[in-house]
């Protein structure tokens, strides 16, 4: 199994609408990319100071399935249209479990 | 449910032994902290360039259970003795699911 994890911080001028649109767009992907075994995402809960703003955790059966997701046009569209315009920083890891 | 996610990059002079010791120490925590519902951690799989080095994903039934883990002396010891000596950067999010 591959667990893909990515954390984002948003730019200071990112609007609440732009932030909400990220989650909304990501929410369409499980219906479009059947390789997704589990998919959790959302904004930070505000428990600790200094956290990143948003997280995505996506599970796949194999590296190949993860690569389908990574390079999928619908996923790439979410990145280009929703995430890139408001991203300040990105941190990612893929875990092989 | 609360999903705690943290990604680390290690310092350039971190040794393989020091990196392995992080995973080994984290592996003892599920036996010491019963609030942990699910616990996955490990080094980046090397699929993509520019990733962080290590990830921890920990699931809890509630914010209170997460706070027990966060402040637990055994967890704090792993941070102080294994992680702090070799951490270059840290990115974290807690998701409320």
Of B53, B54, B92, the CB nearest to A48: B92
User: Distance between CA atoms of A71 and A33, rounded to whole angstroms?
Assistant: 11
Tell which of B39, B42, B90, B93 to mutate to test the A interface (max A CBs under 10 Å).
Answer: B93
Of B3, B48, B53, the CB nearest to A40: B3
Please report the pLDDT score of residue B5 as a whole number. 98
**Beta partners for residue B54, in sequence order:** B8, B43
Of A57, A70, A89, the CB nearest to B5: A57
Tell which of A70, A91, A92 to mutate to test the B interface (max B CBs under 10 Å).
Answer: A91
| Angle formed at CA B94 by CA B25 and CA B32, multiple of 5 degrees | 30
Identify the band that residue A38 occupies on the pLDDT scale cut at 50, 70 and 90: very high
What is the DSSP-derived secondary structure letter of residue A12? T
Structure tokens at A70: 């990574």
Mean pLDDT of the region A83-97: 98
Residues of B whose CB is below 8 A from A63:
45, 47
Q: What is the pLDDT of residues B50-86, one digit of tens each?
A: 999 999 999 999 999 999 999 999 999 999 999 999 9
Provide DSSP, chain B. -EEEEEEEEE-TT--HHHHHHHHHHHTTHHHH-TT-SEEEEEEB-S-STT--SEEEEEEESSHHHHHHHHH-HHHHHHIIIIIGGGEEEEEEEEEE-
Mean pLDDT of the region A57-74: 98
What phi and psi, each to the nearest 5 degrees, are found at residue A92? -140, 150
Provide DSSP, A18-80. HHHHHHHHHTTHHHH-TT-SEEEEEEB-S-STT--SEEEEEEESSHHHHHHHHH-HHHHHHII
Q: Does B54 touch chain A (CB under 8 A)?
A: yes
Q: Where are the domains of chain B?
A: 2-96
User: Distance between CA atoms of B23 and B43, rounded to whole angstroms?
Assistant: 8
A2-96 classified as CATH 3.30.70.100? yes
Of A2, A91, A95, the CB nearest to B91: A91
Q: Do A55 and B7 touch (CB under 8 A)?
A: no
Residue B15's alpha-carbon distances to B4, B49, B87, in angstroms, are 26, 20, 12
Q: Do B57 and A93 touch (CB under 8 A)?
A: no
Taking the CA of residue A79 and the nearest CA in chain B, the distance in Å comes to 16
Mean pLDDT of the region A50-62: 98
Taking the CA of residue B62 and the nearest CA in chain A, the distance in Å comes to 12
């Amino acid at each position: 199994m591959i667990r893909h994890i990515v954390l984002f911080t948003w730019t200071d001028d990112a609007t609440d609408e732009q932030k909400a649109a990220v989650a909304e767009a990501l929410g369409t992907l499980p219906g479009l990319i059947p390789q997704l075994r589990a998919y959790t995402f959302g904004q930070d809960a505000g428990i600790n100071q200094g956290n990143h703003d948003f997280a995505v955790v996506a599970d796949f059966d194999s590296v190949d399935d993860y690569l389908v997701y990574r390079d999928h046009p619908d996923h790439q569209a979410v990145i280009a249209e929703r995430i890139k315009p408001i991203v300040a920083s990105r941190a990612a890891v893929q875990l092989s479990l």
